[in-house]
A and B are shown apart, each in its own frame.
Chain A
Amino acid sequence: MENKVLTEVLAHFLARLDSCNKSLLIELNQHYKELKNLVEIQLKQQIQLESSETISLTQSTLNQIGQNNFVYFISEWERKRPYRRALMVTETYYQKISEIVKSLPSEWHVSGNELVVELGNQLPKGWQQAFAKLKRKQHYIPLRKIIFCALQRNFALSAKLEQKYFFSLIQLVDQLKNNWEITYQAFANYILKNEAEFDWQKLQNKAKNLIVTLIKEIDQVLLDLEKNTTMISESLKKAILNNIVFPWQKNAFDYSDRQSANLLHWTKQLQLVQTEVSLENSLYTSELKVLSCVNTVIESASLERSNLLTELQEAIDWLNQQIKSTSVNSTFPNAKNHITPALSRLAEIEHIFTQGVKEISENLEIPAKLSFSPREGLKIRKINPNKMLVKSFQTNSQRKIASAVKEIETENRKIIHYIEQAREVISFHLEDISGNNSSDDNQKLAQEAFNNALSLLEFCQKESIDWRPIVEKQMLQAFINCFSQARIILKQSRLGALAYLTQQDLNQTVKLLSRKAISLSGLLLNKLLDTTKFLIERSLIYLGLMSSSTSKSVEISTRAFLPQEYSFNLQNLDLPALYNRLFRFEPVQDSRFLVGREKDIMAITQARQMWEQSRSISVLIVGERGSGKSSLINCAKKVSLANLEIVQGEFGQRITTEEELYGFLRELLKLEPLTNVKSFLKESRRVIILEELERAYLRKVACYDAIRALQRLISASSDTTLWILCINKTAYQLLNAALGLNQSFSHRIDIGTASKEVLQEAILLRHNLSGLRLEFISPPIQNPFIHKAKSLIGSNTTDETVFFTTLEKESAGIFRTAFKLWLGHIDSIQAGLLSVKPLSIAQKSLLTKDLDLSDLFTLAAILQHGSLTYEEYSNIFQQNLNNSRRQIDELVARELLEDDPQKDGFRVSPDALPLVKEVLYLNNLIS
């Protein structure tokens, strides 16, 4: 009876087991197919990249591509959840099996013979069956345990197949993301226009091949699993028989812990892949959001431009009206619009970006590598995608975006600038005309000003570039580059730098590098050969084995002149009258043109205030010729010294004795001969301004008396007379050392030389009032390597900056020289556009080497005295007149000296002044 029940029990158990196995296989197959279908459809998706250079179009293209290639599949995958369901099915399957096993009786009494009779045809044939038949005694068998162990062994065998199945499945899931990455990369490369570096087809084929391999693997795994299930019943019966044959055998195999570990591993792996997919999704969403917001910024900037253009049109209409009418009957239209500075626009965009990427997590765990089983472990990398994205923005995009917004500001500001310049031109000339009596001239100048201003505005209207396509494209590329680079960084941090590089086409890079290295070594070899040949030749000449005359070079020695960059005649330049008027070499009268002298004016004002408090005040203004001493005095008279009695004069003749000085002062103060100057000065308060103090002495024994007397007079009368004296710097250094000149003055204003910014401001201020547009011609690239290196580190400057930097060096900060160099470098004036040639650095070394000691002494002496006659020169150097004449004439021929147009004698040519000063400094003759 019992035996019959065993048969039934076993049959019932096996039937239930079979049903479980079948349902598991069906489910696994179904979930795999769902995923397979998703991946295959995704792979078949075609992307259509249309020419979309605007942000809004690109945004919609990205949206479309993302929806069709990523979002749809991800949502489908999340809805169907094939992997998770496969995991659940497996878990349920194990639970069901354990329940079925529990339903079996725990133990059974049966003899070996009975067992063979009962299950004979189902048992495996062999010696075990024959041996069992011999066991006629009833045995106790732990049926549940035997079956459990047998099943566990079977599970252990099929675990590898399950691992393969889940590993391939998770790879398929990962492929959903990878396919999107390839599509996105194609899109980004299309936008960034570097298709050459990217082979989309190749990557897609690679993905296809991988998917085909995975599909094959999973199909095979499912077939193997099916085969395995058919063998379960046989193995169970064999286990029961073995228990009869080998009763001492222990049935203690348990695989359930490993099963749980496997399930946990697959679940964890799924979570990590899911995190990655979500990250990709949030990157995509953020990118769309950022693009949309940036589009709004562009729109607002565009609106700003159209408003400015309207204002420009109004100004043009007004000018046209003025040109037609004979008199000025209204004022220039007022300014209406404002410009958003580039910095605030940049800050806005940065804010948009930060807000856009806010949703991207700051701490994530992603799998470095998908693994087969828990034994292989799970390599997890912790990343901060938010930080990565911000870093990518700062590295790859911020500069481009900054330049784009700067471009917006520059272009918009250009319109405002032109309008303002036109306004200034009009107002300056109307003011200028109002002070002029000649009506014909006035009419002519007014027409010229209106025409210049109109041509300026019309040019602006004509040439005003619609920055939108360029800037929009620039910004678009910057953002796409940012997100694309962020993805690359993410991939790198996931795989590790080396693995990433290996995944890329490293071979091509190596090939390219080696090709470059070969061509470079060829060049180097050629250079080396030339150098060796040259060195051998030089060595032979040095050793006397070869005459230097056999060398092919022809040597021509010439006397060194002032470099051509300095010596040119302004008379030969055909400049407009308006321009010549603005840049005339005269001391400034209008304080608007006095640039960078605020501190100096303040010092004079302060000196006046102190003097008005009856303190003994005297001011010494020290500065090079042409550095603006007279301009400073002119403006100080109007600003700081207004409403005071001012007596102004300059030492026109050389004065060396006390008598000559007093004679000069009496003449200046319009006094009778023999009047006591000191008493006269004590009688009333006044300001005495004396320029060119360097002419009040001669560097010779007993020729410092005039200065000494002046020092005494200043000390005695400075409580009632505000003395303001001007002297050049070189003379000051000598007189201060010899006579302690500095001690006689309460204030010393060392006006120094003008900086680059001041020179630029002074020149552009004058230029802008001409109403002409300005263009700097780019200098030719001297050394392409240096140029490339500069552009790589981002230190390439504009042509304007290069020009003014060189101008500062070449003019040594002296206004007069700077103005002359500016005028001399005007290339052309055509259609209201003034083109300025690049300023080259003069080669001074030839002249520097060519000057001997007596030349240097002569130049230093002339600088110390302002100018020298032949007689004065012979007195100073104790030479006869002929020698003096020869020395000075030689330097005149070298164009370093010239006949002083206002005073007696020779002066250092204003063009040569920077060079002379440099040479004297290098020789330690001046400090």
Chain B
Amino acid sequence: MINSLILTFLIWFDEIETSLQIIKRLSPEKLIVALSIIGIAFLLVRLTSFFIESLSQYAPRSRFFFKMFATVIRFAISFSTGIFLVVVFAPSQQTLLTVLASVGLAVGLGAQDLIKNIIGGLVILIDRPYQLGDRVKIGDAYGEIDHIGLRSTKLTTPDDTRVTIPNSDILSGKAWNANSGVPDCQVVTDLYLPHDANPEEAVEVGYEVAYSSPFILLTKPVVVLLQDRFQDGPFMVLRIKAYVYDHRFEPRFQSDITIRAKAEFLKRGMILRWNRHDQAPTSEILREEFLKVQKLN
């Protein structure tokens, strides 16, 4: 339907080329040239991506710097290809204007979303709310950005699931960026302690646990906060805020902190009294402890 509308629109003007004239323009030579341009553009995009990926692998610390160029280069190549194609077919000025008008018409009739997404892609490129490799939260999705395209942005969640988000959604919604072009990012780990645990000792353990983790980034500070909470009974929350040296290891950092802290809390008797036993707690010991607590309450 759109095509017939465009053709009618084209023939409407006397001076404008008829569809036959346009078809005549598509000589085999021009088609070969156009295909070659598209092929070269494709190759260029692939080569650039490969080169940037190799560099990123060699120096993970600087991968954001390299990846910054990947999107820009891909966009530039896409637009240059479009311009080259227009030059190859060289339509008359009127035809070009007409085609542009038809595109406008097509947008009005049905391709609004596509255009919105493309504009969204351009805005992301200019505004740069995030870049390739960043750890972001867009809507419900949280993960590492691994593709910024003309139509959509793709990210991979920590569960290794790929989420595709249309660029127009990003433009209208919120995007949380954890690292903004640097490899490190802050990781918040919450640990729960009984309300009667020694707070000073808890904070000290919190600091030492963070600094003992191999995932920590030493150039940024560690903050340990303690808070009393109540939910079915009183308890304390030990919040450790530390920077991981590479945001890809965020869950592992959290896990490492938790393991180290729990081990120390157990050792110091700050949680689960049965840990005072030399041997590992069996189900009988756990049951006895549970009954003791119940009796006390």
Residues of A in contact with B (beta carbons under 8 Å apart): 699-702, 704, 733-734, 737-738, 845, 848-849, 853, 857, 860-861, 876-878, 921-925, 927
CB distance from A656 to the nearest CB of B (A): 12
Q: Is B217 an interface residue (CB 8 A)?
A: yes
Establish whether residues B264 and A702, one from each chain, have CB atoms under 8 Å apart when the complex forms. Answer: yes
Establish whether residues B214 and A922, one from each chain, have CB atoms under 8 Å apart when the complex forms. Answer: no
Establish whether residues B260 and A701, one from each chain, have CB atoms under 8 Å apart when the complex forms. Answer: yes
Q: Which residue of A lies closest to B264 (CB)?
A: A701
A134 CA to B140 CA, complexed, in Å: 131
CB distance from B207 to the nearest CB of A (A): 7
Q: Which residue of B lies closest to A877 (CB)?
A: B214
Select one of B57, B212, B217, B218 contacting A849, CB under 8 A.
B57
Establish whether residues A701 and B217, one from each chain, have CB atoms under 8 Å apart when the complex forms. Answer: no
Select one of B59, B208, B222, B259 contacting A704, CB under 8 A.
B208
Enumerate B41-94 residues with CB–CB distance to A below 8 Å.
57-62
Given contacts A857-B214, A878-B259, A927-B219, contact A921 B207 (CB under 8 A): no
Given contacts A734-B218, A924-B183, A924-B184, contact A702 B208 (CB under 8 A): yes
Given contacts A734-B218, A737-B219, A861-B214, contact A701 B58 (CB under 8 A): no
Residues of B within 8 A of A857 (CB): 214
Establish whether residues A738 and B259, one from each chain, have CB atoms under 8 Å apart when the complex forms. Answer: no
Establish whether residues A701 and B59, one from each chain, have CB atoms under 8 Å apart when the complex forms. Answer: no
Q: Which residue of A lies closest to B207 (CB)?
A: A738
A733 CA to B220 CA, complexed, in Å: 11
Q: Which residue of B lies closest to A922 (CB)?
A: B59
Establish whether residues B57 and A925, one from each chain, have CB atoms under 8 Å apart when the complex forms. Answer: no
Q: Which residue of A lies closest to B244 (CB)?
A: A924
Residues of B in contact with A (beta carbons under 8 Å apart): 57-62, 183-184, 205, 207-209, 211-212, 214, 217-219, 221-222, 245-246, 249, 259-260, 263-264
Given contacts A924-B245, A925-B245, contact A701 B212 (CB under 8 A): yes
CB distance from A917 to the nearest CB of B (A): 13
Residues of A within 8 A of B249 (CB): 853
A876 CA to B209 CA, complexed, in Å: 11
CB distance from B91 to the nearest CB of A (A): 32
- A845-B58, A861-B214 known; 6 new pairs, CB 8 Å cut-off, are A700-B212, A701-B264, A734-B211, A737-B218, A849-B57, A878-B260
Residues of A within 8 A of B217 (CB): 924
CB distance from A873 to the nearest CB of B (A): 12
Residues of A within 8 A of B218 (CB): 733-734, 737, 927
Select one of B61, B205, B260, B264 contacting A924, CB under 8 A.
B61
Select one of A853, A878, A922 contacting B61, CB under 8 A.
A922
A737 CA to B208 CA, complexed, in Å: 11
CB distance from B31 to the nearest CB of A (A): 20
Residues of B within 8 A of A733 (CB): 218-219
Select one of A701, A860, A923 contacting B205, CB under 8 A.
A701
CB distance from A775 to the nearest CB of B (A): 36
Q: Which residue of B lies closest to A925 (CB)?
A: B245
Between B61, B263, B264, the greatest number of chain A beta carbons within 10 A of the residue's beta carbon is seen for B61
Establish whether residues A701 and B208, one from each chain, have CB atoms under 8 Å apart when the complex forms. Answer: yes
Residues of B within 8 A of A849 (CB): 57-58
Residues of A within 8 A of B61 (CB): 921-924
A789 CA to B249 CA, complexed, in Å: 46
Select one of A734, A845, A922 contacting B60, CB under 8 A.
A922
Residues of B within 8 A of A923 (CB): 60-61, 245-246
Between B184, B212, B219, B263, the greatest number of chain A beta carbons within 10 A of the residue's beta carbon is seen for B212
Select one of B62, B212, B219 contacting A699, CB under 8 A.
B212
A923 CA to B57 CA, complexed, in Å: 9
A737 CA to B59 CA, complexed, in Å: 24
Residues of A within 8 A of B207 (CB): 738
Residues of A within 8 A of B57 (CB): 849
Q: Which residue of A lies closest to B215 (CB)?
A: A857
CB distance from B134 to the nearest CB of A (A): 15
Given contacts A702-B264, A849-B57, A927-B218, contact A737 B211 (CB under 8 A): yes
CB distance from B288 to the nearest CB of A (A): 28
CB distance from A743 to the nearest CB of B (A): 14
